[in-house]
Amino acid sequence: MNEFQAGVALVVRLLLLAVLTGMLWRGKVRYCWAFAAYVLAALLGNTLVSLWPDRFFNPSFWMFKQGVYDVLKVAIALELAWRSFGAFPGALRTARRVLLALLAVSTLAIVWLGSPSSYETLWEWQPPVATAALWLLTVTALMVVWYQVPVNGWQRAIMLGLAPYLLVFVSLLGVLERRGWALAGEFFATAETLAYLALVAFWAWAAWRRDPVPAAAVPVGSLA
């Protein structure tokens, strides 16, 4: 880990702390518990690598933490869908079918691509898993608009932040695959860290932002 990467990692750590405290302070943590778990996991992974680089700054730990992040990203997408459509049985029924189909197709595609070596498998899984997580978010967003389901600013910010980051991540993995680690490894690490820095900065801003108060429940009292 060079000095620049260490410096960016420190800023990312501070921003992750800001996201966590902002979510707790503004009471936004209850809108997506899986996201809180993801931020905690990211904070822990960043701290371990920064404080004990000799032990944790290596490909096997990177793979392990990436596996944990992948599971949590999928969990975020599913929890956001469940929270968005939970109150709307018609939309929930459709969402369940569509998301299950998407998960089944993604799982089949990932298993199909897998190679016998576990280390290689985990590496090869990264692009399809990131794509699957992105599409889970996309389907949720499309259904939110189709059924006109209300989602709050924080849930929207999580989706709007994660999707472009996942796209950057998949693109960088593509560069890495074509050029190899020896040529593009440094570029990959720096670009990925900067993209993640931008993502966490956006989330920190969204976590601390005060959401506008929703319309008062006046109409309910006057329901026919």
Contacts with 74 (C-beta within 8 Å, 6 or more apart), sequence order: 129, 132, 133, 136
- Which one, 59 or 86, has the nearer CB to another protein? 86
- Which one, 182 or 215, has the nearer CB to another protein? 215
Minimum gap (Å) between residue 21 Cβ and another protein: 20
- Which one, 69 or 88, has the nearer CB to another protein? 88
Chain contacts with another protein (rule: CB under 8 A)? 31, 83, 86-90, 127-128, 130-131, 134-135, 137-138, 141-142, 144-153, 156, 159-160, 163-164, 166-167, 170-171, 173-174, 177, 211-215, 217, 219-220, 222-224
Cα torsion angle, 190, 192, 193, 198, sign: positive
Minimum gap (Å) between residue 17 Cβ and another protein: 25
- Which one, 53 or 67, has the nearer CB to another protein? 67
Minimum gap (Å) between residue 109 Cβ and another protein: 9
Q: What are phi and psi of 214, to 5 degrees?
A: -70, 165
How many whole angstroms from its chain centre is CA 136? 11
- DSSP label of 210: P
List Cα–Cα distances, 67 to 26, 81, 118, 218, 224, in angstroms: 30, 22, 12, 47, 52
- Which one, 17 or 26, has the nearer CB to another protein? 26
Contact at 8 Å (CB) between 204 and 15?
yes
Classify the phi-psi angles of 27: left when phi > 0, otherwise alpha if psi is within -120 to 50, otherwise beta.
Answer: left
Minimum gap (Å) between residue 215 Cβ and another protein: 5
Minimum gap (Å) between residue 212 Cβ and another protein: 8
